[in-house]
Structure 1
Amino acid sequence: MTAAQPARGFFVTGTDTGVGKTLAAAALIRLFAGRGLRAAGMKPVASGAFHDGRRWRNEDADALVAAANVALPPALLNPYLFRSATAPHIAAAEEGVAIDIDYLRGCHRRIAEAAQVVVVEGAGGFMVPLDDCSNTDDLAAALGLPVIMVVGIRLGCISHALLTQQAIRARSLPLAGWVANRIDPAEPYALAMLESLSQRIGAPLLADLPWMAQPDAARAAALIDPAPLGLRP
């Protein structure tokens, strides 16, 4: 890949909140950066912020920045940052802000001009509302990126994963692959769930991430199968 080629990228979504989207997104960024590509992350909308004494920040957005090898302004990488840790449309309404998908598409375009690969992490699940009329799937469709689905392996994940796959297909977006994340270390049927999901998801399993008491993007990156992403093993 050369700088003259169009940027590649992926939209990382999850079957629910708290399933490990940020871990998977940061791992993907590290994987591409480790192959010598200019890799950047984008968190278009984040809910839940802390103040570091200078500015408001979000832990998920920070994790993507830490994984990237392209330095860009925080306001470009995370255009909408809300203080309350709740659904984006609720947090936005609380602060009197309207989330503009066209604006987010413009921010993504600027990031893509500086990077060869842009990994975009959604907020919550694939259908999380952004306002009264738009959901996260509308943002994914506007960006037109292949989707990577993160499945938190726990009770109920099979139905959630299949419904998410159906929603992705309904938006005519390619499902580039999925990541299994074993978020429940006590789940006795994790292997059976993985086998069932593998039979029913029409995309390659990119990684089976083990339970991690502390998420480690570098460790997760080493577990991703690079071939379905167009990279050499």
Structure 2
Amino acid sequence: MKEFFITGTDTDAGKTHVTSLLLKLLAQHKKNAIGFKPLASGCDMAFEQLVNSDALTLMESASVSAKYDVVNPFAFAPAIAPHIAAEQAGVTITLDKLNSAYNVVKQQGADYILTEGAGGWALPINNADYLYDWVKAQQLPVILVVGMKLGCINHALLTAAHMQSLGVNCVGWIANQVDPHMDEYQANLDSLKARLPYPILAISPYSEQTPKLQIYKTLLENFALNT
């Protein structure tokens, strides 16, 4: 089983967009893959439960089906930081609870599990722990999604530096063109390629039609897909 954690340089970097494309890529290669969104806020009531649009997108893109609460075990209505939403709901998120939820995902018969984080890299889950503590404990390889917009170089380099300080295995990064009018897009992309300590895996160009990934060989190698 291959497992990856997809994080972002910030909120709205495009983690769901990229994770969905990666799940579809695996499906195209006839791989059994499932998405996991452990924490989600900004949820709406549907079918007598809180559901999150990002988690639903992962479910639609996956080749392995699972119940909603397997894919997204912690769902909260307010569109605020999950640890604050959880506190307001009287729920305590712990590393042990995340481990238990992840074990359920592992039992769904997938060969690939793509776990999407929430917000950026440094996301608190309670008053003491961060989501990256769970990622490190699980020894999950990390894919960093860089939302290509003004300020992305700073966000990307700070995130990478923190990952390195933790000894996390970041296998590479994906550039997601969230701003179609970004000034000097190519120059910023080149700067990131030169400065980030991890290889680029793919580029997701901005598109109002069917989104696509420009895939680098490094991504296929990490996913063990035939070129």
Normalised by the length of structure 2, the TM-score is 0.93
Q: Any idea what the Cα deviations from partners look like across 1:129-187, whole Å, max 9, x if unmatched?
A: 11110112112112211000000111111010011111112222211111101111111
After superposition, the C-alpha distances for 1:54-98 in whole angstroms (9 at most, x for unaligned) are: 322100100110111111121121110011111111111111110
Structure 2: which amino acid aligns with 1:52? Answer: A
Would you say 1:223 and 2:217 are equivalent positions? no
Q: What is the letter of the counterpart of residue 203 of structure 2?
A: D
Matching residue within 172, 175, 185 for 1:177: 172
Residue in 1 aligned with 2:69?
A: 75
| Partner Cα separation in structure 1 for residue 115 and residue 207 of structure 2 | 23
* Alpha carbons 2:94, 2:126 under 8 Å: kept: no
List aligned pairs for 1:42-81, cutoff 5 A.
42-81=36-75
Please, what TM-score do these two structures have when normalized by structure 1? 0.90
Preserved CA contact (<8 Å) 2:146 2:176: yes
Determine if the alignment matches structure 1 residue 19 to structure 2 residue 13: yes
Question: Please, which runs of 5 or more residues in structure 1 have no aligned partner?
Answer: 1-6
Q: Structure 2 matches for 1:93-172, cutoff 5 A?
A: 93-113=87-107, 114-172=109-167
- Choose 9-18 or 132-141, whichever is displaced more: 132-141
Q: Give 2:181's match in structure 1, choosing from 171, 179, 186.
A: 186
Q: Letter of the 1:228 partner, please give it.
A: E
Helix, strand or coil for the counterpart of 2:172?
strand
Give, in whole Å, the separation in 2 of the partners of 1:228 and 1:171: 24
Q: How many Å separate the matches in 1 of 2:72 and 2:111?
A: 18
Cα distance in 2 for partners of 1:28, 1:155 equals 25
The share of aligned pairs that are identical, in percent, is 38
Residues 105 and 142 in structure 1, CA contact (< 8 A), matched pair in contact too: no
User: Which residue of structure 1 lines up, in the alignment, with residue 83 of structure 2?
Assistant: 89
